[in-house]
Chain A
Amino acid sequence: GAVVSQHPSWVICKSGTSVKIECRSLDFQATTMFWYRQFPKQSLMLMATSNEGSKATYEQGVEKDKFLINHASLTLSTLTVTSAHPEDSSFYICSALGLEGPYEQYFGPGTRLTVT
């Protein structure tokens, strides 16, 4: 089946630094990937839609300059949290859209970010 990986699985960084999270589709090509954020005991909230070769589309309220998304290839999208603050601590999950349509969305295992 389709597999999506994320790296790292967890990361701790200091306030003010930047951290990059990778999302890879391992056995299929994904022109569209999504990034979600999940705070403790809350639901997943879509942050942005990442399209290969074009700019990401951000959801309302998500700071484009803070959460930089790059989808440089058909198998890799990256999310960079710039100038991280403790309130950015969260669980970040990516998903990749399969070629079959909107019902084929494969999720990565998530990255837990802690900003100290």
Chain B
Amino acid sequence: AQKVTQAQTEISVVEKEDVTLDCVYETRDTTYYLFWYKQPPSGELVFLIRRNSFDEQNEISGRYSWNFQKSTSSFNFTITASQVVDSAVYFCALTGSSYKLIFGSGTRLLVRP
């Protein structure tokens, strides 16, 4: 069975602080994909990143960076110099051979001015 765990329910930081959102996954598939989505109050999911199981390279996109470690089954997301606009719920998700997307429970991030 596939499972995604986001242990942090809510995180509150002050603007300009760095923050890391944790994601741990379980799967028996050898080929799988991991995702991060942002869900602002409007509800629409915003795609942030996709990573396949064969690519463990870390990625940086502006203030966002992702650390994928197969050895610990983790795919963590770091926001550097957080901004108020980063306030949202962030979901980590996993898909494999079934094509079904399994979401974690989400982490609510509040960035205070």
Question: Between A and B, how many residue pairs show CB distances below 8 Å?
Answer: 46
Q: With A and B bound together, what is the CA distance between A44 and B95 in angstroms?
A: 14
Q: Which residues of B contact A102 (CB under 8 A)?
A: 33, 95-96, 99
Interface size for chain B: under 10, 10 to 19, 20 to 34, or 35 or more residues?
20 to 34
Task: Take A91-B43, A93-B45, A109-B44 as given contacts and tell me if A103 and B104 are in contact as well, using a CB distance cutoff of 8 Å.
Answer: no
Contact with B along A86-116 (1 / 0, CB 8 A): 0000010101010000110101011010000
Q: Which residues of B contact A46 (CB under 8 A)?
A: 100-102
State whether A44 touches B103 (Cβ < 8 A): yes
State whether A105 touches B101 (Cβ < 8 A): yes
Residues facing B in A28-46 (CB within 8 A) are 32, 34, 38, 41-46
Q: Give the interface of A toward B (CB within 8 A).
A: 32, 34, 38, 41-46, 49, 91, 93, 95, 97, 102-103, 105, 107, 109-110, 112
